[in-house]
Amino acid sequence: MYRVPLFDLNYDGQEEQAVLETLRSKWISTGPRTAAFEAEFAAMLGAGHALALANCTAALHLAMRILDIGPGDEVICPSLTFVATVNAIRYVGAVPVFADIVDESNPNIDPDDIRRMVNERTKAVIVMHYAGFPCDMGAVKEIAGEHGLKIVEDACHGPLSEYGGKKLGTLGDVGCFSFFSNKNLSTAEGGMLVTDDAALHERAKLLRSHGMTTLSFERSKGHSTSYDVLEPGYNYRMDDLRASLGLVQLKKLREDLEKRSVVREWYEKALADIDQVLVPFRGHGEFASNYIFPVVLTEVRRKHRDDVRNSLHEAGVQTSMHYPPVHLFSFYREYSRELPVTERVAGKLITLPMYSSLGKSEVEFVATALGNAFG
């Protein structure tokens, strides 16, 4: 057991009661609670439509499908992301084109490198808002507008994070969210696709459930007695058990994120005197979800980074690393290109514990253990 774990789930009796009520309702698959979760999530973001799904990978896949991305098309994406971001591109036979990140202080995709990668085969850009801090969406939208590109936001890290007063996930054509167990909003597994385009929403809804024109819940209530299949779809539905968890988590989200902002302030102060540590996004002005708390070790080799992590683990501090660059994985080597900033930063990244119930004394303990790791 770690003295300070990487993450702590903010569940209590409310989630237990929500699941119990769903079980007692006798409807546990996609139904009224899923619809309520979708409506409340869309309202929270100010989005036109939200579609609850089995996970965010499904959301990313459907984003590619409804935007008509297909074989031979190129999609520009970051390499410093979870592999699902890139897998979704390959699901539809498209080609991932990796763009570099900005720098150590901003490990988001670099708009200048996006611009360099655009050609006549480019159809879309996927951005991933690292740690819940926004990419330069003004520049990304400008490039997309100049070249007629679609924008997909992988906003898994950023529920309620803002850019220019708008919520992440609502700035492109499609936004995708994750509710995996360690996310800001957790339903164990689950995801959400958001869009302001009614036609895109309707097609995603069709594809979510085998291409069928009606769902089981609708037929059970007599709203329809039959269905048609308009195209081959998938089984990407969320169930009402998970949706009931999501509804409770939505009520907690704002307070949870505000507490994380305080934890971040404690970290920034506690780490200020450790010369070997750089905190990305320091001084960021807009509201951010602080999904994770990454730090970059300055001027160290990867082996040294792992030595520092081992020292923290021995002190009782759990850490992680977000993420191994996708272009270096065996499967994606054929799509690889030189990404010097991504590779340099990834070799120096450490993710420290971050959750809303983290205490100031625990943050100071982590900072002391990190300082001690440098002797």
Q: The tokens of 372 are what?
A: 């001690």
Are the C-beta atoms of 153 and 169 separated by less than 8 Å?
Answer: yes
Which long-range CB contacts under 8 A does 357-364 form with residues at least 24 apart?
Answer: 357/8, 357/10, 357/259, 358/4, 358/8, 358/263, 360/266, 362/3, 362/4, 363/263, 363/266, 363/267, 363/270, 364/266, 364/270
Cβ burial of 171 (10 Å; 0-12, 13-18, 19+) is: buried
Of 123, 150, 167, 183, catalytic = 183
* Cβ count near 220 (within 10 Å): 12
Active site residue 183: yes
DSSP 3-state of 285: coil
Are the C-beta atoms of 28 and 22 separated by less than 8 Å?
Answer: yes
Q: The tokens of 340 are what?
A: 């010097």
Instruction: Dump strand ranges (E) for the chain.
Output: 49-53, 74-78, 95-99, 101-103, 106-109, 122-128, 150-154, 162-163, 166-167, 174-178, 191-195, 277-278, 293-297, 349-352
Are the C-beta atoms of 232 and 62 separated by less than 8 Å?
Answer: no
Question: Edge-to-edge strands of the sheet including 191-195?
Answer: 49-53, 191-195, 174-178, 150-154, 122-128, 74-78, 95-99
Q: Which residues are catalytically annotated? A: 183
